[in-house]
């Protein structure tokens, strides 16, 4: 197969997980055997190499870099020419994979090695079938809404970024509340003294926004969530607005407390009094590869281990997913995540 036509898949991993090098080697060997070239960013390879420093020199020389037929590539443009970003890890690693796929048409597929793994499409035990599906291109691509974020102060733009799950505006110090004014579509909505405010996508509705008391929103619903976090106000309830709405949160200028904004728990910007965060729907969705067409309800039941034993439907689907198999299992194990912010 010529280099021009060789299929490529970018691997992204959580290097500090036990046995990660062995798992990457297993994935790489399966892909290479099917004629697909596995690629790994140099930063991941370097971290994995550090994990192997405890091995004897002779063993390291026998194993080489220990990752099998993996091509180590520069981090910049690591996904260039790749048909898929395959993430090996939990939801945090998948959100990192979303950064690598951002601005491209390359879909993202996660194999869960963490706990809940709401964004992941498969579990570790599903690896053989997952690789078969990748090789056969037997998956569907689902587009998920993302958010564009602008951080400014006094009309000066300090940062432009984005989020797949949520934009979390939080207080910077434990002992002080964050005082904010919130507006929707250019009109004032409310002011809150709070621990923070979360603006989330439907994908992020099962993540940090869920932990703050926000509603679960099905991923095919086009909407933006506004969720106050521990607000001291009579009107301190989650709000769901249309996908075309423009939301803004401003740190009240004469307030004493400063803040910080986190996007997906990965990109951080400090906020001083008077800072403004504008959030709207991005024209660039994230593309997720799906191995099954199982309903989101089944994914929700599986990931949150919801009890459905009393349901009077078909017996094969009326069992608790933690107990026995059934349609409530949701296929291979699937679908975004609470990830506590630092």
Which residue numbers are catalytic?
A: 91
- Count CB-CB contacts under 10 A for residue 231: 23
């Amino acid at each position: 197969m010529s280099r021009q036509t060789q299929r490529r898949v970018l691997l992204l991993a959580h290097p500090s997980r036990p046995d990660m090098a062995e798992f990457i080697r297993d994935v790489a060997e399966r892909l290479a055997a099917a004629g697909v070239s596995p690629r790994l960013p140099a930063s991941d390879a370097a971290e994995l190499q550090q994990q192997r420093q405890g091995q004897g020199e002779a063993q390291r020389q026998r194993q080489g870099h220990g990752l099998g037929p993996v091509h180590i590539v520069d981090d910049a443009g690591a996904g260039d020419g790749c048909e898929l970003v395959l993430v090996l890890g939990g939801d945090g690693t998948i959100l990192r994979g979303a950064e690598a796929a951002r601005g491209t048409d390359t879909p993202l597929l996660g194999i869960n090695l963490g706990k809940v793994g709401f964004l992941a499409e498969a579990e570790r035990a599903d690896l053989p079938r997952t690789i078969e599906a990748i090789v056969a291109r037997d998956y569907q691509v689902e587009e998920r809404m993302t958010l564009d974020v602008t951080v400014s102060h006094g009309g000066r733009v300090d940062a432009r970024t984005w989020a797949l799950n949520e934009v979390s505006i939080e207080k910077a110090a434990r002992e002080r509340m964050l005082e904010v004014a919130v507006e929707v579509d250019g009109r004032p909505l409310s002011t809150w003294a709070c621990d923070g405010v979360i603006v989330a996508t439907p994908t992020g509705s099962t993540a940090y926004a869920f932990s703050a008391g926000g509603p679960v929103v099905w991923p095919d619903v086009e909407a933006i969530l506004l969720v106050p976090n521990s607000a001291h106000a009579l009107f301190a309830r989650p709000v769901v607005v249309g996908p075309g709405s423009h939301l803004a949160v401003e740190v009240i200028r004469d307030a004493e407390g400063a803040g910080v904004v986190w996007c997906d728990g990965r990109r951080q910007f400090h906020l001083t009094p008077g800072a403004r965060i504008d959030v709207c729907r991005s024209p660039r969705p994230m593309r997720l590869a799906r191995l099954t067409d199982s309903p989101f309800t089944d994914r929700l039941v599986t990931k949150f281990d919801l009890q459905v034993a009393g349901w009077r439907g078909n017996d094969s689907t009326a069992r608790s997913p933690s107990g026995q198999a059934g349609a409530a299992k949701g296929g291979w194990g699937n679908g975004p995540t609470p990830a506590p912010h630092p």
